[in-house]
């Protein structure tokens, strides 16, 4: 079912994307993302009031490509006019010690479909 957003679409889109994220992120301590360099390992916290955000974006390192071509998605081919590759980070719980989080750097790959190609 298609629904429209009456609030702030960018914020709603961000919430939707992060909610759909399949990776389980731990909660790093407050001010973790503002450290330089960002720590590779942290002791995770359980209290959200004492935690930083679960994910951090790296918009200054984002990449954009015009006319990247066709992408396969859900058994069909789709023309993508512009693609964005945006790095983000989170802490994955250690399999050895669940109180420890290891820094993971992954990417959102966003394609703007269409461009009048239909």
pLDDT at 6 over 90: no
Q: Say whether pLDDT at 56 is over 90.
A: yes
Mean pLDDT of the 53-68 span? 91
Average confidence score pLDDT of the chain: 88
Give φ, ψ of 79 to 5 degrees. Answer: -80, 130
- Interatomic CA distance for residues 102 and 95, integer angstroms: 10
Reported as a single tens digit per residue, the pLDDT across 9-39 is 788 888 888 888 888 899 999 999 999 999 9
- Domain ranges within the chain, ordered by starting residue: 9-113
Farthest CA pair distance, the chain:
52
- Which of 2-6, 70-74, 76-80, 101-105 has the lowest average pLDDT? 2-6
**Of 59, 37, 46, residue with least CA distance to 108:** 59
In the block, tokens 């790095």 appear at 87
Tell how far CA 60 is from the center of its chain: 14
Q: Is the pTM of this model over 0.85?
A: no
Considering only CA atoms, which of 115, 61, 53 is closest in space to residue 84?
61
Q: Is pLDDT at 90 greater than 90 in this prediction?
A: yes
The pLDDT of residue 118: 53
């Amino acid at each position: 079912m298609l629904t429209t957003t009456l609030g702030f679409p960018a914020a709603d889109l961000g919430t939707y994307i992060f909610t759909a994220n399949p990776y389980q992120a731990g909660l790093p301590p407050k001010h973790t993302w503002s450290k330089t360099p960002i720590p590779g390992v942290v002791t995770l916290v359980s209290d959200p009031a004492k935690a930083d955000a679960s994910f951090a974006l790296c918009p200054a390192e984002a990449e954009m490509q015009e006319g990247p071509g066709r992408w396969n998605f859900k058994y069909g081919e789709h023309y993508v006019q512009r693609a964005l590759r945006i790095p983000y980070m989170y802490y994955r719980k250690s399999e050895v010690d669940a109180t420890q989080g290891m820094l993971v750097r992954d990417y959102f790959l966003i394609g703007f479909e269409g461009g009048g190609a239909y």
